[in-house]
Amino acid sequence: MALLLIVSFIVVPNQTSNAYATCKCVVFRLDDVQDYFLTEARMKVMNLFEKENASLTIGIIGNFFGNDTRIVSFVKNETKQPQFQFANHGWNHEDFSLLSEAKQSALLGKTNKKLHDLLGVTPKIFLAPLDGINNDTLLAAEENGIKFVSANMTRDPPPYNIGDAEAKVYRMPTTAATGDLSRDGKRWIGFNHTKVFGDIQQSLAKYGFAVVTMHPQEYSIRNNFDYKE
């Protein structure tokens, strides 16, 4: 995996203008961290970022995390790495856009509390499962002290507010990915480095930032939806 300039979800707003902040930053987010699923692949990705002293945002599904002592111990150890940040990735990996504002807020709070109890961290980042967000999501995020919400450009179209010093919640959607479901929805495919790098460059030029989503499936042996380490 080739690493570019990588930073975490910390963007300094432009204090003098509402124009996009030109942070020229690349954020890598690792989604779907949970118990008993491709643990080895997940750990190797985190180890690589640690070895390169590169920032990584780790998205944890609250209700699916806590019983697998191997991954919990590993992730807890990673909280000691200052370049790693931990994100709320929902309670049951639900589509938040289908829920009321009160329900969204309750689920965000539930996951944040569990991660605080297990890991000693309270996420300031929400990686929306299934990229489902709406205006109520931003209100729910604010109520739970979350400063960054990341969906994708289809469900959260531009313009984005990273240059708005008055924003209470910043929107930084996925603009590149290392893999995704196939168009027919029957298998998981990985994208080659040329495509990923091109998408990053395009996003940097257009928005002043890039967010790259990764899943452990991309780093496994795949046969349709059968994944092996």
The answer as to whether 135 is a domain residue is yes
Cβ burial of 147 (10 Å; 0-12, 13-18, 19+) is middle
pLDDT at 219: 74
> CA distances (Å), 151 to each of 137, 178, 184, in order?
11, 15, 22
Instruction: Judge whether 18 lies within some domain.
Output: no
Residue 106 lies in a domain: yes
**pLDDT for the residue numbered 48:** 93
Residue 224: CA count within 13 A, CB half-sphere: 2
Residue 200 lies in a domain: no
**Domain presence at residue 73:** yes
| Bridge partners, residue 176, by sequence | 212
Q: Is the dihedral of CA 205, 18, 129, 68 positive or negative?
A: positive
Whether residue 186 is contained in a domain is answered as no
Give the CATH number for residue 90. Answer: 3.20.20.370
Distant-in-sequence, close-in-space partners of 89: CB < 8 Å, separation ≥ 6: 31, 32, 33, 59, 60, 61, 62, 111, 126, 127, 129
Q: What would the mean pLDDT of 40-63 be, rounded to a whole number?
A: 94
> What is the chain's mean pLDDT, rounded?
87
pLDDT tens, position by position, 71-124: 999 999 999 999 999 999 999 999 999 999 999 999 999 999 999 999 999 999
Task: Tell me the CA distances in angstroms from 1 to 51, 153, 184, one per residue in order.
Answer: 12, 24, 27
The pLDDT value given to residue 100: 98
Residues 6 or more apart whose CB falls under 8 angstroms from that of 47 comprise none
> Would you state the pLDDT for residue 82?
92
Mean pLDDT (whole number) for 30-52:
93
Query: What kind and span of H or E run contains 227?
Result: strand 226-228
- pLDDT band, residue 180 (cuts 50/70/90): confident
In a domain, 201, yes or no: no
Determine the pLDDT at residue 95: 98
Query: What's the residue count for the chain?
Result: 229
DSSP 97-121: GGS-HHHHHHHHHHHHHHHHHHHS-
More confidently predicted of 1 and 158: 158
* Full domain range(s) for residue 165: 34-173
- Supply the DSSP symbol for 148: E
Asked if residue 113 lies in contact with residue 133, where contact means CB atoms within 8 angstroms, the answer is no
Nearest C-alpha neighbor of 94 from the set 67, 122, 61: 61
Domain count, the chain: 1
User: Which residue shows structure tokens 């750990």?
Assistant: 43
pLDDT recorded at residue 181: 79
Q: How far apart are CA 165 and CA 171, in angstroms?
A: 13
Quick check: is 57 in a domain? Answer: yes
How is residue 218 written in tokens?
A: 């991309």
H or E element in which residue 76 lies: helix 69-78
Q: pLDDT tens digits, residue range 120-156?
A: 999 999 999 999 999 999 999 999 999 999 999 999 9
